Amino acid sequence: MAYRRAVNLIPKGKECVFSLWIPCFQKSPNVIRQTVRFHKHANNYCGRTTRSLHTGTPLMVAKLLSVDELFAKRSLQEYLKKMETEYSECLRAVNSSVTEELYSEDELRVKRTKVSLLAPLIQSIRELDTKQKEMAETETLLKDEDPALRELAELESEGCLQDIQHLRQKILDLLIPEEEADLSDLVLEVTAGVGGQEAMLFTDEVFDMYQGYAQHHGWSFDILEHMTSEIGGLRHASASISGPQSYKRMKFESGVHRVQRVPRTEKQSRMHTSTMTVAVLPQPTEISFTINSKDLRIETKRASGAGGQHVNTTDSAVRIVHLPTGVVAECQQERSQIKNKEKAMKALRAKLYSMKLEEETSKRYNQRKIQIGTKGRSEKIRTYNFAQDRITDHRIGMTVHDIKSFLLGEDLLDEMNSALQEFSNQEMLAELLGENNQDS
């Protein structure tokens, strides 16, 4: 298990502070001091720690809001009232005796669905209201002259406060919509970018990192393509990864990864900057996504490269072209043509599903898309600086140290992805409240 020396920017767990990052402008240097509350479960100790956040954009500063601060905002309170009103109206329509005269069957079906979807949220809101009333009553007893009664009131107050925090966190979690693709497996693709042989060597290291990450989580890692370079690097490779929450935990790895180091091939000890790209494609099931066999052109050829006696002797390599889109997938890893065809179909299905998913999500969250682009150095999402022994994710300004441990694909990569997921959740909540956010 890798030794963790990362800076935890965001508290983890349901009992920790939920935070929302709201952009604002500041002319100070790109180092922000922030105070983060945390809990120690062993002794119920709640403390504070101050850490430095090194942001990727000097002019953009992030303001961290606690659960209490977030619930004090008018935008959130208005949105929750709106949800309660909508729930009551739908429930009234469903239970009304004259419903059939006022609504069509399709409209009723929509209202029933809304009632079932909103029920957990409304129940939590009402429980929160009840607890807040109990808290107000308890606070009046804290002023009583009887010491014994005040002591009981203090104990009751602590319990109410914990329940209120728990319910507020639960409400925030329920407001963030689930993404269907998060339940999918995935197809991972890595491709060397700018930097020649050094880019290919780094691509090989990153591919190994993801293989270690899959092993760390107990996921299956099935290589589909593996095109090596002359000195042992990778030009391009792809793999199918299957396991619980595999796509959800890896989806933020998509983009340009930049490495800064002295390459093995450098004789004058000069620092080089190279790039490689990562694509993480959700892998749909047969039920959720189907492909018409008439739209496919399947070609076979002899495998190339290192691989034993079967290379250049049998037509085991398979190449599948999806004619309507021109998308191509191929595989030559297995000796069997049938197995290569299965793997190529899995890769093709993932590519087509990803195109469909991107088209749909771009309409809703266009500003959240991570583009691979031209693989240029300036388009990086993450930098691996070997001289400074650091990894920086430029999307959230998070920096961790110990590159050797990070490339093992264990705890440090897990922490980075957890932070990215937290920021994504906060961004989605901000978008959800955007229409009512008049007081921010």
Q: Which pLDDT belongs to residue 74? A: 86
More confident residue, 28 or 303: 303
Q: Which pLDDT belongs to residue 204? A: 96
- pLDDT range class, residue 105, cuts 50, 70, 90: confident
Q: In what order do the strands lie in the sheet with 327-331?
A: 296-301, 317-322, 327-331
* Digit-coded pLDDT (tens) for 217-235: 999 999 988 999 888 899 9
What is the length of the chain?
A: 440
Q: Which pLDDT belongs to residue 379? A: 67
- pLDDT range class, residue 343, cuts 50, 70, 90: confident
- pLDDT range class, residue 311, cuts 50, 70, 90: very low
CATH 3.30.70.1660 fits 181-409, yes or no: yes
pLDDT above 80 for 11: no
- pLDDT range class, residue 314, cuts 50, 70, 90: low
pLDDT above 50 for 34: no
- Only one residue has tokens 């014994």, namely 148
Measured between alpha carbons, how far is residue 217 from residues 244, 353, 361, 405 in Å? 9, 24, 28, 16
User: What is the average pLDDT value for the chain, to the nearest integer?
Assistant: 76
The arithmetic mean of pLDDT across residues 252-260, rounded, is 94
pLDDT above 70 for 436: no
- pLDDT range class, residue 36, cuts 50, 70, 90: very low
More confident residue, 401 or 303: 401
* CB-CB neighbours of 57 under 10 Å: 10
Q: Which pLDDT belongs to residue 367? A: 34
The three-state DSSP-derived secondary structure of the chain is CCCCCCCCCCCCCCCCCCCCEEEEECCCCCEEEEEEEEEECCCCEEEEEEEEEECCCCCEEEEECCHHHHHCCHHHHHHHHHHHHHHHHHHHHHHCCCHHHHCCHHHHHHHHHHHHHHHHHHHHHHHHHHHHHHHHHHHHHCCCCCHHHHHHHHHHHHHHHHHHHHHHHHHHHHHCCCCHHHHCEEEEEEEECCCHHHHHHHHHHHHHHHHHHHHHHCCEEEEEEEEECCCCCEEEEEEEEECCCHHHHHHHHCEEEEEEECCCCCCCCCCEEEEEEEEEEEECCCCCCCCCHHHEEEEEECCCCCCCCCCCCCCCEEEEEECCCCEEEEECCCCCHHHHHHHHHHHHHHHHHHHHHHHHHHHHCHHHCCCCCCCCHHHEEEEEECCCCEEEECCCCEEEECHHHHCCCCHHHHHHHHHHHHHHHHHHHHHHCHHHCCCC
Q: Minimum mean pLDDT among 201-210, 303-312, 337-346: which range?
A: 303-312
The arithmetic mean of pLDDT across residues 159-178, rounded, is 89
CB 171 within 8 A of CB 80: yes
The arithmetic mean of pLDDT across residues 230-250, rounded, is 91
* Digit-coded pLDDT (tens) for 357-412: 777 656 544 433 333 334 445 568 999 999 999 999 998 889 999 999 999 999 99
Q: Which pLDDT belongs to residue 234? A: 94
Q: Minimum mean pLDDT among 13-17, 192-196, 407-411: which range?
A: 13-17
pLDDT above 60 for 32: no
Percent of the chain with pLDDT over 90: 33
The arithmetic mean of pLDDT across residues 420-426, rounded, is 82
Q: CA-based angle 26:32:35, to the nearest 5?
A: 125
Percent of the chain with pLDDT over 70: 74
Q: Which pLDDT belongs to residue 171? A: 93
pLDDT above 60 for 289: yes
- pLDDT range class, residue 305, cuts 50, 70, 90: low
* Domain ranges across the chain: 11-175, 181-409
* Digit-coded pLDDT (tens) for 42-71: 333 333 332 223 333 332 334 446 778 778
Q: Which pLDDT belongs to residue 218? A: 96
pLDDT above 80 for 273: yes
For CA atoms 128, 134, 137, 142, the dihedral sign is negative
More confident residue, 302 or 255: 255
95 vs 194: CA distance, rounded Å: 63
Q: Minimum mean pLDDT among 33-47, 226-240, 313-327: which range?
A: 33-47
